[in-house]
Amino acid sequence: MSAAIEISGLRKSFTISLSGEGSIKTAALWWRKRHIERVEVLRGVSLTVPQGECLAVVGRNGAGKSTLLSILAKVYLPSEGNVAVHGRLAPLLELGAGFHPDLSGRENVMFNAMILGLSRAEALARTPAILEFSGIEKFADAPVRTYSSGMLARLGFSVAVHVDAEILVVDEVLAVGDAEFEAKCYARIEQFREEGGTILFVSHDLDAIEKVAGRCVWLKDGLVKADGDVPKVLDAYRGSF
């Protein structure tokens, strides 16, 4: 089976500035010392995700999960290593990411659908279906700064699954609303998989992972701690608490 995502030796470091409070003397001592620290978030991750697979990534906060997804979505560049994505990728990384707060929901749908590869005509034609799926048609012409976090997540997820993507990269894919909308998400994900789509998602909801994913990767301290069968990986992960 062909690979949708290939990751080899992926490393990502961030530079953070350390700051101290106190007297001028204390501040001077800080400046005399090294006040910049290099933090390595990913320390050599290698993964291959075949086409049509639904891969879940688990790990504690700070393990590198969101950084991995952000590199796949080209929000960050890797410090080292290689990343190859074969197919159109639609990212859904955080609530409201890519939405302009002063534009309406309808305008943001158009804007984001075109960013993700649709033509203006295609985006215009699919906007009604996107708004219907999200369940926020009544508020479509209100600025998104007036939306709740759940409404933003609904709208973002709806756009991502209506733009002919071949790969979905999603952070907390099912944390998007009430039970009714969650059921719609499950059904849409299953349809996406049946059509040959690939999903890589991060979630802290282990029950959702068991329900959706066909494979699980546990990231710990920027490294792959375990990779394989969902129940076995989750059992090992739970045992680390």
- Domain containing 102 equals 3-239
Query: Which residue from 197, 124, 118 is spatially nearest to 163, judged by alpha carbons?
Result: 118
CATH classification of the domain holding 44: 3.40.50.300
**Pair 93, 70: CB distance under 8 Å:** yes
Average pLDDT of the segment spanning 87-98? 79
Q: What pLDDT is stored for residue 221 in this prediction?
A: 93
Q: Is the pLDDT of residue 22 over 60?
A: no
Cα(6)–Cα(199) distance, integer angstroms: 13
How many domains, in total, are found in the chain? 1
Highest mean pLDDT: which range of 20-29, 164-173, 179-188, 212-221: 212-221
